[in-house]
């Protein structure tokens, strides 16, 4: 199962947000539905970058840098 690091940008104010997910399309929908406390303040969001990893640990390391 693949793991993903993604970057989204707020179309409201240009804020960037980086995250980790196994399903980045669903996660983007959750951000745009206001289900994340931080990102709900800056909706709507657009996916601007995605990177796939074969291991969860590699994806989490990448998310932190």
The domain segmentation of the chain, as residue ranges, is 3-64
Q: What is the pLDDT of residue 64?
A: 94
The closest of 20, 28, 18, 19 to 2, measured between CA atoms, is 20
Tokens, residue 19: 């995250």
Mean pLDDT, residues 19-28 = 98
* Cα separation, 40 vs 32, whole angstroms: 7
Would you say residue 65 has pLDDT above 90? no
What are the b/e assignments for 14-40, b being 16+ CB within 10 Å?
Answer: eeeeebbbeebeebbeebbeeebeebe
Mean pLDDT of the chain: 97
* Cα separation, 65 vs 62, whole angstroms: 5
pTM: 0.92
Would you say residue 4 has pLDDT above 90? yes
């Amino acid at each position: 199962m693949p793991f993903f690091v993604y970057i989204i940008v707020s179309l409201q104010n240009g804020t960037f947000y980086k995250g980790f997910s196994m399903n980045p399309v669903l996660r983007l929908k959750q951000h745009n539905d206001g289900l994340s406390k931080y990102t709900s303040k800056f909706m709507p969001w657009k996916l601007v970058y995605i990177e796939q990893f074969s291991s969860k640990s590699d994806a989490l390391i990448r998310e932190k840098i």
